[in-house]
Structure 1
Amino acid sequence: MRLELVAVICLIIIVGVSVLSPKLRLATPIVLVVIGLGISIIPGVPPVHVPSEVILAGVLPPLLYSSAINLPLVDFRKNFGAISVLSVLLVIVSAFITGFLLFLILPDLDIAAAIALGAVISPTDAVAATSIGKRLGLPPRLIAVLEGESLVNDASALVLLRTAIGATAGTLALGGVGGGVVDFAYSSVAAIAIGLVIGFVTVFLRSKINDSVLTTAVSFIIPFIAYIPAEAIGASGVLSVVVAGLYTGHMGAKHFTASTRISERLNWRTIQFLLENGVFLLMGLELKDIFVAATVQSSESQNLNAVGSVVLGLGAALVLLVIRFAFVGPLLAVQQARAHRRDPGGTDAAEATGWRGGVVLSWAGMRGVVTVAAAQSLPEGTPYRNQLVLIAFTVSIVTLILQGGTLPWIIRVTRLKGIDEAADHAEFATLVDELRAAGLRVLETPEVSLPNGEVVDESVVDRVRSDADLRSESAWERAHAADAGGSAPHEQYRVLRLSVLRAERAALLDARTRGEYSSRILVRAQVMLDQEESRLQSSDGPH
């Protein structure tokens, strides 16, 4: 089958599943894995194998960058303690415990190779968890911890994997545990430095480009120019990408134009959607051939067959879940105690995650993209290599389907309270008031003038002032309506105005059909209607 036809079919599947899965109350990644597996077992379907280098160097950097630029740095800093423990300490402990157990079970497997597999199956993937959590209204702080953990633990797991592989090959500079610690520290510190430099330079250069199309196009290469030099000097490329993305997302609000931010957000959301869902479909497609390869190798070695590998994978998934529960409990207890000390009974204490959030956070530790790619990067000479890859795939598939599939039920059973919509509207309205006060100070000078020195007519000043007042009034109307459970006048205005815009758009299409206006005038009118419609649609709830 032609490659381009395969790509078209995969894209149709991804879009179709994404449309249907919310109606089925299932996470899109879970459905895609099952569909991929179903396709792979159809007689005549050729084997599917994508080299791990393509995933690690071609897919992972843009995927992590897309997540990083959309994760508010304030949320990352606020939850830095929890994110650090889950993404670094938990990964290391999980890798060593699962690796040591595999070392005890499998003869001929050295401890470094076993820890390498432990590093492969340790990092979590928040795609399925956050897609379910956002749909069911999980607390924003819990979502932020899940997203932050999945960003950083990819880097720590891959650094640990490389260190373990280096120990297997005897290439660590100082040897032993000391060499591993030095390698881990160097890889992390150097990656952070490179990520910051790349982020600073690219933000500065892009801020000098006024064309949103050009600056968004430049953004497409940032993940790779952060990844490649870090990997070239032996640092963590993925950590460098994450740091560059966090810096860009934070500083973009200050240095980029509004059109650039809108264009970048939309384009990167599209890229992220295609890449992450494409990898989950690929997981299902590859699983049959990985099972076959493990079966062939087991018949040669007669030590561990494919079924035994699946059983070990199930056991490893259970061990990882137990370790995660053991970590999350004390972590959240400490976090809640600190929050109460800082602000007893206040917002920070209220947001601190209790036992309900702890259960959900523990259960949400599914494996995904990194586990799939990293497993296939194990050296060819590694004992039980194909079986180890199958173990990693089993962990990923089982956690994704079982934990991801039951996560909505866990959320409902724990009765975890999510976003308080009325409080959100009130907080948004308060912020709008603060912004309005800062903006109106511009109009308080005796004679307001334009940059070219032209004095502005008083009626224009009044109009600008009333626009600011109207925006604030609308925000408070929505807050009061949310409290009362009714519909605010502003919401009525929004719905009515959208109806008017639809009629205007129909008239524009009619005018285009008649051919009475030039194309450039028609395009200007369409842009005008699109901008207002986009503004009205984006105002559907505080952001």
Structure 2
Amino acid sequence: MSEESYVLVGLVIVLVVLAGRLLAGRLRMPDAIVLVGLGFAVSYLPGMREIRVAPEIVLLVFLPALIYNAAFFSAPREMRSEARPIIALAVGMTLVSAFAIAGVTWLLLPGTSWAAAVALGAAIAPTDAVSASAVLKRVGAPNRVVTILEGESLINDGVALTLFGLAVTAMSTPLTFGDGLRELLTVVVGGLAYGAVVALAVAWLRKRLYDSNAQLVVSLVTPFVAYIPAETVGFSGVLAAVVAGFYLGTRGEGLLPPRVRVTGHTVWRGLVMLLESTLFVLLGLQLHEVLVGIGGVPPVRLVGIAVAVIVVTVLVRLGWQVAVSPVMRYLPGPLRLDPGRLRDRVIIGWSGLRGAISLAMALSLPFTVNGEEFTDRSVLVFLAAAVVLATLLGQGMTLPLVLRRMGVHQEGSSRVEYARAEVAISRAALARIDELLASGQTGEQVAETYRRFYTLRVKQSRSVLDADERGGSPPPEAHGTAFLRHEISAAEREALLQLYRDGEIGHEVFQTVGHELDLAEPPRRKH
């Protein structure tokens, strides 16, 4: 394909992503299902079937940004408090799932090597908490459940990708136990150490950069600086990206000015959405080739294997949560684990959705092994895709029903936390206003204007907290400040736009003032 063709293909993929997300919203279906379907339909367009994404591209382009983003926005305090159940799931559950899936695959596909089966198990094992967390937060599920799921999703990516890398290596170069152990230690220790070096270097650089555009560029290239050199020298790029993202996300917020943080968060949300969506479109585009590659396997048998792998994937996780977790309370010392309530364990067990990371690993399986075509690749990619789509569609769409059956309803904890935060910051603002007024750095009229605003916000937020303590609902005016700020912001934007339309201000002023309004816009909260 020519350079122009690649550009055209990239444009088509972006258009399919946008159309898929729009259509998924209208149909109330998971984005992934619609994107795969549209990708498969587009594969029949002229030239689209020639697309073959090299496995190295999938790993180098998609994984660094996705993993770094997840680590950057993790919650360190909450994760520390739930470290034991998170590690038990992220390490123990991931390894058990990987080898259980590998065993079923190896038994049902006798021609498949054990290394290839383990590679498939490692690809399917890690969960993607994004979709499940969105549902759980919307219905007010316990914060502990959400924290465990998000923490597990962060760590299990590193565990699964390390096992995946060892399995792919073993497909072409058989490893003894000693070789595998040495390789594992090198990969893990080297990845952790290099990730720490990158994190410290980026933190040092950020303190000395004052240009917002340069700051944003540093943010975008950091995951690739962490991932690619580590992989090149034989370390774990995944662990390096996780360490860098975790350190910079939890300790580096103060290194960036507010405007850069606002812009960076927006850019990263868009980038992650595009990368995840593109992976599902690429699966759809390659689905025709995958179906051709599995032509030698009878359809009934193939469907039976897919169902078996899906069932094992779901049941092993549920079994771990319901049966294994309670036993771990009897383990000695640091291994002892508080399993929590049965309701929470069932929710965590049913929230094991698979997503973009699993798909990226499956698509990165090699086309050739030792110079010969890897004939099992199409079947393994098909099985991985079946698990991803089945969990997103089956578990994802039934998760709200499971939550209702388990007695989980909207608890309003976020609303109360917002109110508590607003009381604290408003009181701090009032104290600072009084200090500035006393020192003569501001006038009485200006101080009184701001004092009224913050006093009103404290009063309204207190009404939310008082209602929560009484067990009732807050009065309608409880969030009047936020509502008023949104309405004022809308009026300001309309006035600015009218000035520009009338030719009274130029485009540069229009953009600058509009950006300032964007920065001042209060977030829309879901209570």
TM-score (norm 1): 0.82
Residue 306 of structure 2 is matched in structure 1 by 313
CA distances 1:32-61 after superposition (whole Å, capped 9, x unpaired): 233334444689963543222221110111
8 A contact 2:127–2:156 mirrored in 1: yes
Determine if contact 1:291/1:306 at 8 Å carries over to the other structure: no
Q: How many residue pairs are counted as aligned between the two chains?
A: 511
CA distance in 1, matches of 2:187, 2:143: 31
Question: 2:497 matched to 1:509?
Answer: yes
Aligned CA distance change for structure 1 residues 268 and 412 (closer, same or farther; 3 Å)? same
Letter in 1 for 2:495: A
Give the structure 1 partner of residue 197 of structure 2. Answer: 197
> C-alpha distance in 2, partners of 1:446/1:390?
66
Sort the Cα spacing of 1:502 and 1:131 in 2 relative to 1 into closer, same or farther, 3 A.
Answer: closer
Tell me, yes or no, if structure 1 residue 84 matches structure 2 residue 87.
Answer: yes
Q: Which moved more, 1:315-324 or 1:35-44?
A: 35-44
Which secondary structure state, in structure 2, belongs to the residue aligned with residue 123 of structure 1? coil
Question: What residue in structure 2 maps to residue 415 of structure 1?
Answer: 407
Aligned residue for 2:74? 71
CA, structure 1 residues 360+158, in 2 after alignment: closer, same or farther (shift >3 Å)? same
Q: Which amino acid aligns with 2:308?
A: G
Task: After superposition, give the CA deviation of every residue in 1:483-515 in whole Å (9 maximum; x if it has no partner).
Answer: 653555463344345434434433333322333
Deviation at 1:28, TM superposition (A): 1.8
Percent of aligned pairs sharing the same letter: 32
Partner of 1:473: 459
**SS state of the match for residue 221, structure 1?**
helix
Among candidates 139, 148, 156, match of residue 151 of structure 2? 148
Amino acid in the other structure paired with 1:229:
P
Counterpart mapping for 1:12-31 below 5 A: 12-31=15-34
Shift of 1:206: 1.3
Deviation of the 1:393 alpha carbon: 2.9
**For residue 209 of structure 1, what is the aligned residue in structure 2?**
209
CA shift at 1:76, angstroms?
2.5
Q: How much does 1:458 deviate?
A: 6.4
Contact 2:279 2:360 in 1 (8 A): no
Distance 1:446 1:415 in 2: 51
Matching residue's letter, 2:307: L
Give the alignment partner of residue 384 of structure 1, picking from 355, 376, 392.
Answer: 376
Contact 1:139/1:417, CA 8 A, preserved across alignment: no
Structure 1 residue ranges without an equivalent (≥5): 299-303, 339-348
Answer whether contact 1:279 1:369 (CA < 8 A) is retained: yes
Is residue 2:346 matched to residue 1:354?
A: no
Give, in whole Å, the separation in 1 of the partners of 2:138 and 2:417: 21
Cα distance, 1:525 vs. partner? 4.1
Structure 1 CA distance, aligned partners of 2:512 and 2:306?
59
Is the 2:42–2:285 contact (alpha carbons within 8 Å) kept by the matching residues of 1?
Answer: yes
Match of 1:492 in 2: 480
Which digits, 9 at most, give the CA deviation of each residue in 1:49-95, with x for residues without a partner?
32222211101111122222222222322332222222222222222
Return closer, same or farther for 1:400/1:460 CA change in 2, 3 Å cut-off: closer
The more displaced of 89-98 and 516-525 is 516-525
Cα distance between partner residues in 1 of 2:5 and 2:353:
34
The question of whether the paired residues in 2 share the 8 Å contact of 1:87 and 1:156 is answered with yes
- The amino acid of 1:400's aligned partner reads L
Trace 1:445-484 onto structure 2 (pairs within 5 A). 468-480=454-466, 484=472
Is residue 160 of structure 2 the alignment partner of residue 157 of structure 1? yes
- Distance, in Å, in 2 between the alignment partners of 1:392 and 1:528 is 46
Q: 1:6 to 1:74 in 2, by over 3 A?
A: same
Counterpart CA distance in 1 for 2:505 and 2:120 is 66
Give distance in 1, aligned partners of 2:504 and 2:93: 67
Spell out the pairing of 1:338-349 with structure 2 (5 A cutoff). Answer: none
2:125 aligns with 122
CA deviation digits over 1:162-188, x for unaligned, max 9?
22233344464xx22x43233223322
Q: Any idea what SS the aligned residue of 2:160 has? A: helix
Would the aligned equivalents of 1:433 and 1:472 in 2 still touch at CA under 8 Å? yes
Amino acid in structure 2 at the alignment position of 1:124: T
Higher mean C-alpha deviation, range 67-76 or range 507-516: 507-516
Flag the 1:306–1:442 CA change in 2: closer, same or farther, 3 A: same
For 1:279, the aligned partner's letter is L
Unaligned runs of 5+ in 2: 332-337
Alpha-carbon distance change, 17 to 436 in structure 1, aligned in 2, over 3 angstroms: same
- SS of the residue 1:473 aligns to: helix
- Alpha-carbon deviation of 1:362? 1.7
* Partner residue, 2:334: none
Are residues 1:366 and 2:353 paired? yes
Equivalent residue number for residue 341 of structure 1: none
The 3-state SS of whatever aligns with 2:294 is: helix
User: Bigger shift: 137-146 or 278-287?
Assistant: 137-146
Structure 1 SS opposite 2:230: helix
- Report Cα offsets for 1:90-130 as digits up to 9, x if no partner: 22222223323433444444433332332222222334333
Q: Does 1:251 align with 2:251?
A: yes
How far is the alpha carbon of 1:540 from its aligned partner?
3.9
Distance 1:38 1:237 in 2: 34
Q: TM-score, normalised by structure 2?
A: 0.84
Q: Is 1:228 the equivalent of 2:267?
A: no
| Residues 37 and 80 (structure 1), Cα distance of their counterparts in 2 relative to 1, 3 Å cut | farther
> Is 1:393 the equivalent of 2:379?
no
Q: Is the 8 A contact 1:52 1:377 kept in 2?
A: yes
- Using the TM superposition, give the Cα deviation of residue 519 of structure 1 relative to its aligned residue in structure 2, in angstroms: 5.1
For 2:379, give the aligned amino acid: Q
Following superposition, the deviation at residue 221 of structure 1 comes to 0.2
**How many Å separate the matches in 1 of 2:45 and 2:304?**
24
| C-alpha distance in structure 2 between counterparts of 1:467 and 1:68, whole Å | 37
Alpha carbon RMSD of aligned pairs, Å? Answer: 3.5
SS for the counterpart of 2:285 is: helix
User: SS at 1:505's partner residue?
Assistant: helix
Cα shift readout 1:295-315 (whole Å, capped 9, x = no counterpart): 2xx3xxxxx546534422221
Report the equivalent of 2:322: 329
Q: Partner letter of residue 33 of structure 2? A: I
| Alpha carbons of structure 1 residues 136 and 461: separation in structure 2 relative to 1, 3 Å | closer
One-letter amino acid of the counterpart of residue 255, structure 2: H
Question: How many angstroms does 1:156 deviate by?
Answer: 1.3
Structure 1 residue aligned with 2:184: 184
Separation in structure 2 between the aligned mates of residue 507 and residue 465 of structure 1, nearest angstrom: 26
Tell me, yes or no, if the aligned pair for 2:196 and 2:243 is still in contact at 8 Å. Answer: yes
Change (3 A) 1:488 1:480: farther
- Taking the aligned partners of 1:30 and 1:446, their CA distance within structure 2 comes to 57
Which amino acid letter does the alignment assign opposite residue 99 of structure 1? A
2:394 paired residue number = 402
Q: Aligned partner of 2:151: which letter?
A: G
Larger mean Cα displacement after TM superposition, 157-166 or 404-413:
404-413
